[in-house]
Amino acid sequence: MISAARLSRRLHDFDIIDATYYMPADPARARADFQALRIPGARLFEIDEIVDRSSDLPHMLPDAGTFARAAAELGIDGSRPVAVYDRSVNHFSAPRVWLTLKLFGIENCYVLDGGFSAWMNAGCPVVSGDAGDRTVAPRTWTLDKGRVLTGAEMAKAVAAGDGTIFDARSKERFAGAAAEPRPGLRSGHMQGASCVPFTSLTRSDGLFVDPSTLRTMFGYPTDREPIVSCGSGLTACVLALGLARLGLNARLYDGSWSEWGRGALGDIITDAV
């Protein structure tokens, strides 16, 4: 994490990424908000555009070529630290972009604590209008596939009871007491999973919870490479960020409940209430 005060002091040393994403998806709103007001130097990372287009699942991680083109257009070549923010009240989408960048090898990457609201509340500078072109020469990037689980790998892990699984969905969805927002998906949760709603990782003042609170939420010590999941692989990354603050490298089940909830991976290893 990086605070608004610290980032504002070093703003010109960073590549800045606006990761704002609305649910249901509203890219026009995200673009309009970006044009209206943003952190100086920011570029908009469109989560539904920088994806694996061969998949029918929502916003799956991009392949290396897609990421390379997007990174070049965003002005990212890996030579500078990156700070990512969004406009939510609960760090909704910035951690997804943070983890994407980390998985492609950008280690010096941070999420703005409290997001754009914290930036505004601190009286930090903002700009509006056209962001201009900051394209850099493309380079080769490699996805760390060891930290991303496919549906088949997830099914094997669940069946074997192999690994700690954290689910970022609400308690109601986890328990099967609330319907899934995407049609055609059954309710419930994976056998052996624990529910840690992503919203619980943001304090009432909009800042991320402290490591002591995170240890209570996740249990500590724990599996050194726990698995994180959610509805579509987006808010699972909030949990990955929390675990990173405890020194743990989470593995992302990218398909998450959008894939698992279809039932094709085996009803026998899904609990539904």
Domain residue spans of the chain: 4-121, 145-271
Per-residue pLDDT, averaged over 69-96, amounts to 98
Per-residue pLDDT, averaged over 13-36, amounts to 97
Per-residue pLDDT, averaged over 108-112, amounts to 98
- Give the pLDDT band (50/70/90) at residue 269: very low
Correct CATH for 4-121 of 3.40.250.10, 3.30.70.260, 1.10.1740.10, 3.30.450.40: 3.40.250.10
Per-residue pLDDT, averaged over 160-180, amounts to 95
192: Cβ contacts below 8 Å, ≥ 6 apart: 158, 161, 165
- Give the pLDDT band (50/70/90) at residue 138: very high
Collapse the DSSP code of 15 into the 3-class scheme (helix H, G, I; strand E, B; otherwise coil) and give the result.
Answer: strand
What amino acid is encoded at 106 in this protein?
A: I
- Give the CATH fold of the 145-271 domain: Oxidized Rhodanese; domain 1 (3.40.250)
The answer to whether 177 and 65 have CB atoms below 8 angstroms apart is: no
Q: Which of 109, 124, 230, 237 is catalytic?
A: 230
Q: Is the pLDDT of residue 229 over 70?
A: yes
- The reported pLDDT for the residue numbered 273 is 40
Strand order in the sheet with 165-167: 148-149, 251-253, 227-229, 165-167, 193-195
Active site residue 230: yes
Rounded to the nearest integer, the mean pLDDT of the chain is 95
CA–CA dist 159, 170 (Å, integer): 23
Per-residue pLDDT, averaged over 96-110, amounts to 98
The answer to whether 154 and 260 have CB atoms below 8 angstroms apart is: yes
Per-residue pLDDT, averaged over 206-232, amounts to 92
Whether the model pTM is above 0.85 = yes
CA–CA dist 189, 168 (Å, integer): 11
- Give the pLDDT band (50/70/90) at residue 220: confident
- The reported pLDDT for the residue numbered 264 is 80
CA–CA dist 194, 197 (Å, integer): 10
- Tokens of residue 197, six digits: 């709603």
Q: What are phi and psi for residue 217, nearest 5 degrees?
A: -65, -45
Q: Do 4-121 and 145-271 agree at the fold level? A: yes
**Between 266 and 241, residue with greater pLDDT:** 241
Which candidate, 84, 68, 85, places its Cα nearest to that of 76?
Answer: 68
- The reported pLDDT for the residue numbered 135 is 96
CA–CA dist 230, 260 (Å, integer): 10
Per-residue pLDDT, averaged over 4-10, amounts to 98
CA–CA dist 39, 127 (Å, integer): 6
Per-residue pLDDT, averaged over 16-37, amounts to 97
**Between 58 and 264, residue with greater pLDDT:** 58
CA–CA dist 213, 201 (Å, integer): 9
The answer to whether 136 and 102 have CB atoms below 8 angstroms apart is: no
- The reported pLDDT for the residue numbered 221 is 63
- The reported pLDDT for the residue numbered 154 is 96
- Give the pLDDT band (50/70/90) at residue 162: confident
Per-residue pLDDT, averaged over 4-31, amounts to 97
Per-residue pLDDT, averaged over 28-42, amounts to 98
- Give the pLDDT band (50/70/90) at residue 96: very high
- The reported pLDDT for the residue numbered 266 is 60
